[in-house]
Amino acid sequence: METFDVIVIGAGHAGVEAALASSRLHMRTLLLTLSIDSVAFMPCNPSVGGTGKGHLVREVDALGGQMGIVTDAVSIQSRMLGTSKGAAVHSLRAQADKAAYHHAMLAAVLSQKNLTVRQGECASVETVNGRIAGIVTATGRRIGCAAVVVAAGVYLSSDIIIGEYRRATGPSGFANSAYLSDALRNLGFELRRFKTGTPARILGSTIDFAKLEPQEGDASPEPFSFMTDTPPKNLARCYLTYTNERTHEIIRANLHRAPMYNGGLNGTGARYCPSIEDKVVRFADKPRHQIFLEPEGLASPEWYVQGVSTSLPEDVQIKMYRSIAGLENANVLRLAYAIEYDVIDARRLDAAFHSKDVRGLFFAGQINGTSGYEEAAAQGIVAGMNAALHVKGEPPFVIRRDEGYIGVLADDITVKGTDEPYRMMTSRCELRLLLRQDNADIRLTERAAAVGLATEPRLCRMTEKKKAAERTLELLREKRLVEYLRRPEVSYAQLASEHNLPDIPPSAARQVELTVKYEGYLEKQRREAEKIAANEDKLIPQGIIYEALSGLRTEAKLKLKKARPTNLGQAARIPGVNPADVAVLSVIIKKGQYKADA
């Protein structure tokens, strides 16, 4: 029987990062994909980053991941979002060339040492004594391994819905995963049904761009990767238009044919990303809604209609799109659709995305109830790292919520859970001034290097940036220039030219400016982080029998038993467990007044 150390099922954005991380940690890794053509495919908007999501991409890069490097190489327009607000919410977003992204990521996995890429379908996952033993493919081939990462994306028993049309298929015409849902049920996992959707694609030559508002990229684009030396260039332009009352009339007149209103959809969708019919109903007082037209690539004739996601019937879609300014003669190349798919309850995982019930089984990406390429990549790199560490018998690599946006994501879905497709937003992070996108390397690269993922050149680059910032801060204090730099209108470059200060890299100068200008706020958040860390360090004994504890409320016992938190910090964030319950639990553990399973 053929054997590998780690098998990754699925080659979307979670799967490729998981497979690359595992193989770079010297594990013999198999990346199994339903189709080679769908490796790192972008079935929705070919963009990377955005509010909150840009932080995740920078953190994936800081750990030694691939998404930022590839995005920089294929970016066709780049913008920093949130610049009218504080530095904590600045988030980079890039429009990528869809085909180029796929080909670049495919080249990365095909050339990676220790990594085998194979087209095939997983039919079952085998275990021995509660531990992973291998998989069986749909063609009957048995492959042994010590760890499995399931990164099935939205392909798990998925259905495409357009009006009354429903078909068992994956996104963009790719085949779905027909067997894996039952395989997971056989392992004891309860599956739920989630839904997302994607807008239509319009033929660019049929768009009247003269009626649209141009949206330019930044004058000096920033790269995602801390290893990118040449910033990306703006090679394309995006455009803005709006729906109108005619658009809304068409939608309202056909609500009875909309699957989300006539019972045609069973999955739970995301509130933060509503379909256009949902917007028209929920925000009936709004005369129009923004629509962004974005190119799918430099050589592609297709344009993505961001803001008009729908599952309305075909004839309604065409009328609706052609009612919008600039799209009056639009040729709809690909219809918008909704997609339903199976997901697990991520509360059955720990912060390393490791199953609490099956040792050696990891999950990453949309199967965990999240949405978005960036959230998937973030989970993928952590799951891949931890699958490798599990095989090696080493401690897991966990990012806490006070250490990174990845930690916030992991904590939210594995402790709090999610009842709808989860997406990262800066508002989810209570320590966002500490966890900025610009210092992701300072926060995470040294830790990733310690386990062997971040390379020596990456570590050296981060160390030089950090030391340059520290030396400059010391010099500013010696010269008593800190108060001067604290003024909002003063930059380090201006200060350096006026006072003969050293010329340091822009990334280091950024750290200096933000450290000085936000000093009081940063100190306050550091104290908050210390409080969070203190509870994270207070471990809860494994196998503790909650129903036997006296002093805890019945609801708290039930919630704790189901969630099985590993520390008091996690326990405190479980819905239904209040601060008094945590205080009681802390005393019980400290005094050893508990029973635990053997």
Domain 204-335 matches domain 538-591 at the CATH topology level: no
Boundaries of every domain in the chain: 204-335, 475-527, 538-591
CATH of domain 204-335: 2.40.30.260
Contacts of 122 (CB under 8 A, 6+ apart): 9, 32, 135, 136, 137, 138, 177, 179, 180, 183
The tokens for 434 are 């500490």
The burial of 457, by beta-carbon neighbours within 10 Å (0-12 exposed, 13-18 middle, 19 or more buried), is given as exposed
Supply the pLDDT for residue 271. Answer: 80
Supply the pLDDT for residue 369. Answer: 97
Supply the pLDDT for residue 38. Answer: 96
Q: What is the pLDDT along the chain (598 residues), one digit of tens a residue?
A: 899 999 999 999 999 999 999 999 999 999 999 999 999 999 999 999 999 999 999 999 999 999 999 999 999 999 999 999 999 999 999 999 999 999 999 999 999 999 999 999 999 999 999 999 999 999 999 999 999 999 999 999 999 999 999 999 999 999 999 999 999 999 999 999 999 999 999 999 999 999 999 999 999 999 999 999 999 999 999 999 999 999 999 999 999 999 988 888 888 888 877 899 999 999 999 999 999 999 999 999 999 999 999 999 999 999 999 999 999 999 999 999 999 999 999 999 999 999 999 999 999 999 999 999 999 999 999 999 999 999 999 999 999 999 999 999 999 999 999 999 999 999 999 999 999 999 999 999 999 999 999 999 999 999 999 999 999 999 999 999 999 999 999 999 999 999 999 999 999 999 999 999 999 999 999 999 998 888 888 899 988 999 888 888 999 889 898 888 989 999 989 988 998 888 889 889 888 888 888 5
Helix 440-450 vs helix 456-478: angle between axes, to the nearest 10 degrees? 140
The burial of 230, by beta-carbon neighbours within 10 Å (0-12 exposed, 13-18 middle, 19 or more buried), is given as exposed
The burial of 186, by beta-carbon neighbours within 10 Å (0-12 exposed, 13-18 middle, 19 or more buried), is given as exposed
Which CATH superfamily groups domain 538-591?
GidA associated domain, C-terminal subdomain (1.10.150.570)
Helix 456-478 vs helix 506-517: angle between axes, to the nearest 10 degrees? 50
The tokens for 256 are 């009875």
